[in-house]
Structure 1
Amino acid sequence: MSTSTPRPAPAEPLFRLAAVTVLTGIGAGLGGMALALLLHLIQHLAYGYSITLLVGHESFYEGVAAASAERRIGVLLACGVIAGFGWFAVYRYGRPLVSIKKAISSGDPLMPPATTTAHALLQIITVALGSPLGREVAPREVGSLIAGWLSRYAGLSIEQTRLMVACGAGAGLAAVYNVPFGGAIFVLEVLLRSFELRVVIPALVSSVIAAVVAWLGLGDESQYIVPHFALSANLVAWSIVMGPVFGVAAFAFVQLTSRARAAAPKGWTLPLLSIANFLVIGLLAVSFPQILGNGKTPAQLGFSNELTIGLAATLLLIKVAITVSSLRAGAQGGLLTPGMSNGALLAIVLGGAWTLIWPGTPIGAFAIVGATAFLASSMNMPITALVLMVEFTRVDHDFLVPMLCAVAGSIAANRLLETKMKARSETALTLGANAEGA
């Protein structure tokens, strides 16, 4: 009886996966770049600044601040009309939306092209006009859509398609924010919850390619400009003490936004609520132009030491209120930048109080640490939050010490609250079942 050497597995499926990985990075990079440029174009046209230079040195906040009160109200009113009737049309006439997480976990990981594209474009348009929600979901959806289409065309398996859909989402995030490693870690920690080598390689390759491709139109720029902050015992001590506070605040924020999303209308009341909501935001923006947009403005002002404690507290209350009200009115968008902004504003308030006891640390240093801690808990992604904040701000690696301390305390407090809430829910269900049985 003769024995034969086993034949190696065919290399063609591996080559196809590699090709789809590269093409996903390119497609997500181009898609993210196009969405970012569209955002800038709408912002500049709506508020009348830097019309001939989409990517320039004049910020969105500077353009909004220079616009008249009537223009701010008018733009937000238009935002309400577009958001209300746009999402009403998507829900009424489009195929059911498939979220990225649902696509990754289902037997059919493909997302409906027309509905997904319309959903993404509406997010970009409304955020550009002043919606307080985040813009990061749109490029992730477009990246996942492209990855799913490429995977199907290449004949990849269902498991490989799921992997590529997740990588497409991370690549879209990497492209629009110039965070190649943050995009990859987002895939590994949040979407796939795996750090296996077979997942790590395509996630890194697609995200890096997407970020580099997006440089063609957006440049290799960091999202936030921050001054140099020195590491100090003062800041580390504050991070240890205040970390749990950010976890509690993030837990409350998630509860509010989750309930608002769940109660959002999809019928004829959506346009009415949307118009009313954004009209109120426009009126508030007459006195507080900092509230417009996804939250990048207050975060940048906080990182740059340009906010007083009183103004930070006021902006925090308004931002939380209009974020919740916009979700309740039916608007769609992410919560990454809004959460980061809330953390920065809360940190300025807490840090300002701390300096009365132990002075010496700049307010901006507190803001960076607080933004990281809040983002880690509100999005349930401690590793991704750390990587994103380092890439967003390009702070010195020494700053990882207070950031890690704050994130650890924030996550611990947040998980404790989640555990208690889960236990209460289970107890209530048990009592309800016993009552029905009796």
Structure 2
Amino acid sequence: MKRLLNLHTHLSGLAQLLRWTLLALPVAGVVGSAVALFLWVLDRMTQTHAAHPALLWGLPVAGLAVGWLYHHFGKNSERGNNLIIDEIHEPGGGVPARMAPLVLLGTWVTHLFGGSAGREGTAVQMGGGLAHLLARWFRLGPEQVKILLLCGIASGFGAVFGTPLTGAIFAMEVLIIGRVNYQALVPVLVASVVGDAVCTAWGIHHTTYHLEVSPDAGLRAPIEWLLLLKVALAAMAFGLMARFFATLAHGIQRTLKRWVAYPPLRPFVGGLVVILMVHLLGSRDYLGLGVEASTPGGVSIVSSFEPGGATPWSWLWKTLFTTLTVGSGFKGGEVTPLFFIGSTLGHALALLLHEPVALFAALGFIAVFAGAANTPLACTLMGIELFGAHYAVYFGVACFVAYFFSGPSGIYSAQRLGVPKHGPTSIS
């Protein structure tokens, strides 16, 4: 009898697993295709801006147009990623279907005219908006909607960066600081892997970053204690950088809300200041995504992996341009700029600590994001997916130390606190 009961339990679990897999597949297919379209057009927008740099002069008007659309038609879509996180915590408010097309259009416009923003926010918001729409079509209950929203986040994040395992862990880790929600482990993994596969099937190719490893080095780098100490010291700086970024972005947002009463005017003002900063600095290296330089010899994420590929203050300039762009109301997200900030800061620290530039650029790439998003597990895995497993121990040290030093909050204000980073803790 006991064996029959166990068999019944296993069969029931298998049936539930298959059901959620079948529900996750359409989410992954739709979101993966939407991300592919988004990335394909985004690449064209970036190329168009590089070919016509005078488009920068239209950034304030573009910001005004995006702000007007959100003000009159966005409803609560303006809250972006935080709205999706809140809906998972407390279902009921809903994620408007208009969020996906609005953020898609807003991000394209931002990059066409040179705003310094990312792309993960768009992918995650499209994922959440489309998943919530499918949940309504499937007539799912509140708890089931939560799981489908997690699938939307995972498939969007995994597809936009080509990191499916990271996308799954990110969706489960980003909700609560200090805890990982395993409630939807398998459907989230299915959604992220399939979403990435669908995006790739549409012909989308992701940037390859080169972190050279000797052919005779083995699968895992041996622990060099002096190097490990330097990585930990650099990670403290990465964590403090993450805290500075989040604090500055939220501060600019609050200041503009206080000084500029009409919301569409906030990105207009932000666009004017970005233009002023470009002409004062005399460089366009800190506009757009920053993955690859728009001009020969320019600073970018890719160039930061090479000696001489960044200036000692590249990380600070990108921080100022991005916090102003995103904080004033332009769309796109912060993650790719955080990669830029982290890799260029890692480049500078590598020269200071007399260590390989590429290794420390890779460490900064993942660790600043780990601290800003409070997702050290996901970012450690991202390092392995993007750069290989050889330096996995150093990736983990960088991400966890940066997380510890990044402060009590981050770029996502809707995150709940599960376990404090500092002070006594208990294990139950």
Query: 357, 369, 378: which is aligned to 2:372?
Result: 378
Say which is worse superposed, 132-141 or 232-241, in terms of deviation.
Answer: 232-241
SS of 1:296 mapped into structure 2: coil
**CA distance 1:276–1:222, shift in 2 (3 Å):** closer
1:169-184 matched pairs, under 5 angstroms: 169-184=153-168
The superposition leaves residues 391-417 of structure 1 with CA deviations (integer Å, 9 ceiling, x where unpaired) of 2x333x121122222223222323589
What letter matches 2:48 in structure 1? L
CA distance in 2, matches of 1:135, 1:386: 20
Say which is worse superposed, 291-300 or 172-181, in terms of deviation.
Answer: 291-300
**CA distance 1:215–1:79, shift in 2 (3 Å):** same
How far 1:248 moved relative to its partner?
A: 1.9
Say which is worse superposed, 239-248 or 261-270, in terms of deviation.
Answer: 261-270
Matching residue of 1:263: 255
- Asked if the contact 1:100/1:144 (under 8 Å) is kept, the reply is yes
CA distance in 2, matches of 1:417, 1:104: 19
**CA distance 1:139–1:165, shift in 2 (3 Å):** same
What letter matches 1:326 in structure 2? T
Matching residue of 2:387: 394
Query: 236, 247, 268: which is aligned to 1:244?
Result: 236
Query: 283, 286, 304: which is aligned to 1:288?
Result: 283
Structure in which a larger fraction of residues adopt helix: 1
How far 1:306 moved relative to its partner?
A: 4.3
How far 1:207 moved relative to its partner?
A: 0.6
1:108 and 2:92 matched:
yes
How far 1:272 moved relative to its partner?
A: 3.5
1:40 and 2:39 matched:
no
CA distance in 2, matches of 1:152, 1:43: 35
**CA distance 1:388–1:130, shift in 2 (3 Å):** farther
How far 1:115 moved relative to its partner?
A: 4.3
TM-score (norm 2): 0.80
- Asked if the contact 2:371/2:404 (under 8 Å) is kept, the reply is no
How far 1:293 moved relative to its partner?
A: 1.4
What letter matches 2:110 in structure 1? T
What letter matches 1:92 in structure 2? H
Query: 52, 56, 64: which is aligned to 1:76?
Result: 56
SS of 1:291 mapped into structure 2: coil
CA distance in 1, matches of 2:394, 2:31: 34
CA distance in 2, matches of 1:363, 1:34: 34
1:305-344 matched pairs, under 5 angstroms: 305-308=307-310, 311=311, 313-344=312-343
Matching residue of 1:436: none
**CA distance 1:332–1:409, shift in 2 (3 Å):** same
How far 1:91 moved relative to its partner?
A: 1.2
How far 1:142 moved relative to its partner?
A: 1.1
What letter matches 1:215 in structure 2? T
Matching residue of 1:145: 129
How far 1:189 moved relative to its partner?
A: 0.9
TM-score (norm 1): 0.78
SS of 1:141 mapped into structure 2: helix
CA distance in 2, matches of 1:11, 1:244: 44
1:279 and 2:259 matched:
no
Matching residue of 2:417: none
1:27 and 2:8 matched:
no
Matching residue of 2:188: 203
Aligned identity (percent) is: 20
**CA distance 1:14–1:268, shift in 2 (3 Å):** closer
How far 1:24 moved relative to its partner?
A: 0.5
What letter matches 1:277 in structure 2? V
Query: 212, 229, 232: which is aligned to 1:228?
Result: 212
**CA distance 1:181–1:284, shift in 2 (3 Å):** farther
Query: 57, 82, 102: which is aligned to 1:118?
Result: 102
CA distance in 2, matches of 1:30, 1:240: 39
CA distance in 1, matches of 2:317, 2:407: 27
What letter matches 2:227 in structure 1? L
Query: 344, 357, 361: which is aligned to 1:363?
Result: 357
1:304 and 2:306 matched:
yes
1:409-424 matched pairs, under 5 angstroms: 409-415=401-407
CA distance in 2, matches of 1:25, 1:346: 35
The superposition leaves residues 54-78 of structure 1 with CA deviations (integer Å, 9 ceiling, x where unpaired) of xxxxxxxxxxxxxxxxx42x22222
The superposition leaves residues 132-161 of structure 1 with CA deviations (integer Å, 9 ceiling, x where unpaired) of 121111111111112111111112221011
Give the CA RMSD over aligned residues: 2.9
**CA distance 1:246–1:282, shift in 2 (3 Å):** closer
- Asked if the contact 1:235/1:366 (under 8 Å) is kept, the reply is no
- Asked if the contact 1:136/1:334 (under 8 Å) is kept, the reply is yes
Query: 149, 158, 164: which is aligned to 2:148?
Result: 164
SS of 2:285 mapped into structure 1: helix
- Asked if the contact 1:133/1:334 (under 8 Å) is kept, the reply is yes
Tell which structure's C-alpha radius of gyration is larger: 1
**CA distance 1:174–1:271, shift in 2 (3 Å):** closer
CA distance in 2, matches of 1:35, 1:27: 12
What letter matches 1:236 in structure 2? L
How far 1:116 moved relative to its partner?
A: 4.2
- Asked if the contact 2:99/2:129 (under 8 Å) is kept, the reply is no
How far 1:235 moved relative to its partner?
A: 3.4
CA distance in 1, matches of 2:170, 2:84: 13
Segments of structure 2 that go 5 or more residues without pairing to the other structure are 215-220, 293-299, 411-428
What letter matches 2:304 in structure 1? G
